[in-house]
Amino acid sequence: MAEYKPPIRDITFTLRNIAGLGDLLEYPAFGHVDADTIDGILDEAGRFTAEVVAPTNRVGDTEGAVFADGAVTTPEAFHKAWRQFVEAGWNAVDGDPEYGGHGFPRVVGLAIKEMMVTSNMAFSLNPMLTGSAISLLEHHGSDDQKAQYLEKLITAQWTGTMVLTEPHAGSDLGTIRTRAERNLDGSYRISGTKIFITWGDHDLTENIIHLVLARTSNGPPGTRGLSLFIVPKYTLDENGEPADRNGVECVSIEHKLGIHGSPTCVLSFEDAAAYLVGDENQGMRLMFTMMNQARIEVGLEGLAISERAYQDAVAFAADRHQGRTIGDAAEGNAPIIDHPDVRRMLMIMKASTEAMRAMLYDTAAATDRAQHAPDEETRRIAADRQALLTPVVKAWCTDLGVELTSLALQVHGGAGYIEETGAAQHYRDARIAPIYEGTNGIQGVDLVTRKVPMDGGGVVRSYLAEIEALDEPLGEAGEQFHALRVNLRDGLAALSSATEWLLARDDPNDGLAAASPYLNLFGTVAGGFYLAREALHATDHSDANPWLSAKVETALFYGTRILPGAKGIVGAATSGHAGVFAVDADMLGGTG
């Protein structure tokens, strides 16, 4: 496994030219932040993640989290890295200054998290879930709850979890059975069993704050009857410090395909002290604040694991000598990076990774604008953009994460199938991301049933209009952009026709059957859009700068080798549901 090299230039370029960081820094909320400070923070974050966190990745995979005597133990290397993570204040970069945060834009926090996830995905899941808990409490917690929990979470002295799934209730949260009974003092007692709880128990911090969905005794059936509760591992004393062990126990951890360093816990709640967030029966609405942030950051996992796998694949391909290249008269074998098919695979990884980064940063920047823009109209437009893109970044990026880590393994050849190279670990770790935080099929359903119809289709049409508006600048940029321009225009036509087809459907099953292909189509075209924008920014100075020239060539590769595939997806996205159900369920096994 090669040493991790943080892609600071790529990150900075995307922050400036896609996320519009300069404009964000003009907002009053970020008046204490300047571009030079951000550059320094990114450089230091790169150093920290490469030197402190990245070396724990292999250890986390081989040692893993261990459950014994009712407690979870994590690798010793994680303890050292966590202490340094807390002391350096990395979890607080984009936190609320009122509660110990530094108040930087969320998109800057996301850039730092990218490097953290790339360094060690399993380790990064702990601060990721903690960040989602912070977001939920910032938006919906009472003043007392914020005072009790936010500073300790923002500074990572404590960590947070998202506690939804039950043995019988996976994605269908309406069937949750965990009960919450109200006490005379207004607090609650929760009892039930929850599964698949990421970092649900560990030994890195003195307390863990669980955010739990449960059903009160008088709540209506289904998701409408769910309420949201804070359940600390240790209840707090009058000084706000951990005191008595609460009635929540880890009874086992899962043995998994990947992310071995991240304990995935089964939690048992027995009359656990719990504190209502918001009002009863509003749990699902509140939980979506946490889930939507987590979905963006799971999408980030697709980017990050692809970046790490790509770096390893490039290093291996440059070092591994095999065969001769055409016309090469030199003695000995050539490095496989000189073979066209290997170079093709590496370019697919590079172009796709850069497209993911641009889409993710644009989505995170929309979060900043939705929360902090001075005018209401900008906030509204940004909130709509974030809502539209969230299911796309979660699903498209994580599907690509699996595809690209598989491609990296292919570059390694037989060595990639051997654990020591690290390529197999990336592939194993990547596979969970399309599953958790709402399976990618659910993201497709969310996109076609909730997000595309927003404002009568007005939100998605506005986004498509942005893509269309790029046609003229691409035409003015010169002949080298011709193929990219034509293929982006064709991809946009395919996406537009599929969008209008969806908006016109009367039978909801047509949209549900189209959901995943449509999301893939959307992501593929949007990826071309973002890389075309990056290429236009880079082209003015690319002749004198090889790195910028590579930016342009990467966009052109995407435009000629990946973007044309959009036209092949549109048929699946507009074919309705009849073919999906043409074979009876009892015949699917082929034994009838």
Q: Which residues are catalytic?
A: 437
How far apart are alpha carbons 287 and 160 in whole angstroms? Answer: 13
How far apart are alpha carbons 322 and 334 in whole angstroms? Answer: 6
CA angle, 120 then 122 then 126, to 5°: 110
What DSSP letter does each residue of 346-402 carry, written as one string? Answer: HHHHHHHHHHHHHHHHHHHHHHHHHHH-SSHHHHHHHHHHHHHHHHHHHHHHHHHHH
Burial class (CB in 10 A: 0-12, 13-18, 19+), 54: buried
| Percentage helix, strand, coil for the chain under 3-state DSSP, each rounded to 5 | 60, 10, 25
How far apart are alpha carbons 254 and 263 in whole angstroms? Answer: 7
Contact at 8 Å (CB) between 474 and 485? yes
How far apart are alpha carbons 228 and 495 in whole angstroms? Answer: 38
CA 447 remoteness from chain centre: 16
* 459 contacts: CB under 8 Å, gap ≥ 6: 384, 385, 387, 388, 451
Long-range contacts, 147-152 (Cβ 8 Å, 24+): 147/240, 148/236, 148/240, 149/209, 149/230, 150/96, 150/99, 150/100, 151/99, 151/100, 152/207
With CA atoms as reference, report the closest residue to 389 among 353, 354, 365: 365
How far apart are alpha carbons 158 and 440 in whole angstroms? Answer: 30
Q: Which residues make beta-bridge pairs with 166?
A: 169
CA-based torsion, 244, 99, 128, 226: positive or negative: positive
Pairing status of strand 234-236 against strand 242-245 = antiparallel
How far apart are alpha carbons 401 and 307 in whole angstroms? Answer: 9
Phi, psi of 86 (to 5 degrees): -70, -45
How far apart are alpha carbons 346 and 501 in whole angstroms? Answer: 36
How far apart are alpha carbons 421 and 317 in whole angstroms? Answer: 12
